[in-house]
Amino acid sequence: MQKITPFLWFDNQAEEAARFYTSIFKNSKIGRTLRYGGEAAKASGRPVGSVLTIEFELEGQKFTALNGGPQFEFNESVSFVVYCETQKEVDYFWEKLTANGGQKSECGWLKDKFGLSWQVTPTVLIEMLHDKDPKKSERVMNAMMQMQKIDISKLKAAYAEE
């Protein structure tokens, strides 16, 4: 069993979210589903047999989604980073995660249709931001600050400037 597993609280969309996320990430799968029994359903007001929790895995990372009710919503204080090797990969995840009501934000950040925050981040961006030459990393940071979806070619151009 994985030592630490993100546990995501949904109102009543846990199963829909698990299926959405596993449709986007190639190495993913749905795991076990726990359903509300009589006592838990009575206490929560949920229908008997509806999904209580559903386990899923994305790229080797296990998650659990809970249908816990409307008391809590996602916010930007917690997000998931998707590291991408190519612009094609950045474009793919940006498009898929913002589909059907997701919200685009700044610097590679977005919210999916459930309100969960993601950062779609090219690995080359991290490398350039940690360059030993502070002028290069500052130019890259300034370029990134002008973007919503990250454009690797623009980052590389900023990095190469003299």
Residue 3 belongs to domain spanning: 1-72
- Residue 1 has a pLDDT of 78
Q: Give residue-wise pLDDT tens across range 62-71.
A: 999 999 999 9
Q: CA-CA distance, 2 to 65, in Å (whole number)?
A: 15
Q: Provide the whole-model pTM.
A: 0.93
Same-domain pairing of 102 and 131: yes
| Residues of the chain under the 70 pLDDT cut | 162
32 and 102 housed in the same domain: no
Q: Which of 26, 44, 72 is where one domain is finished?
A: 72
pLDDT given at position 122: 98
* Those residues with Cβ within 8 angstroms of residue 71's Cβ, 6 or more apart along the chain or in another chain: none
Count of domains forming the chain: 2
pLDDT tens by residue, 69-100 = 999 999 999 999 999 999 999 999 999 999 99
**CATH assignment at residue 38:** 3.10.180.10
**Residues 156, 95 share a domain:** yes
Q: Which of 72, 102, 126 is the last residue of a domain?
A: 72
